[in-house]
Amino acid sequence: MIGNLKPLEIVLIIAVILLLFGAKKLPEMARSLGKSARILKSEAKAMKKDDEATTASKPTADPQSGEQTAPRTIQAAPGDVSTARPVNEPNRTTQS
């Protein structure tokens, strides 16, 4: 569809965008879009690393339920994989 646009139509679309958002807002919007793209990229890398780590590590066995669970981690900030640490979860006890 974009290949069917003529140069005059493209210029008109750009002019409408400039009128709607204003010349001052466009650089700000581009910066926020770039920042969002960087965050998305770092999160995708972190998820890929986390997935590789969980498949490479052996799951730990839960002695009470007999199920095997992988260790869980908490990240300090989105995209910050250098400070990820294991979570100490309380042991579940059932009372009869």
Spacing of C-alpha 34 from chain mean position: 14
pLDDT at 37: 94
What is the structure's pLDDT at 21? 80
pLDDT in tens, 38-92: 999 999 999 998 888 887 765 555 556 555 666 666 655 666 656 655 556 666 6
Q: Is residue 30, in this structure, part of any structural domain at all?
A: yes
33 domain-assigned: yes
In single-letter form, the type of residue at position 55 comes to T
Q: Which of 81, 80, 76 is nearest to 52 (CA)?
A: 81
Over residues 17-42, the mean pLDDT reads 88
Say what the pLDDT of residue 39 is: 94
Q: Encoding tokens for residue 43? A: 């999160």
Residue 40 resides in a domain? yes
Q: Is residue 78 part of a domain?
A: no
| 64 domain residue, yes or no | no
Q: Domain containing 15: what range? A: 1-52
Determine, yes or no, domain membership for 37.
yes
Whether 24 maps to a domain, the answer reads yes
**48: in domain:** yes
- What angle, rounded to 10 degrees, do the helices at 25-56 and 7-21 form? 90
- Asked if residue 75 lies in contact with residue 84, where contact means CB atoms within 8 angstroms, the answer is yes
| Total number of domains constituting the chain | 1
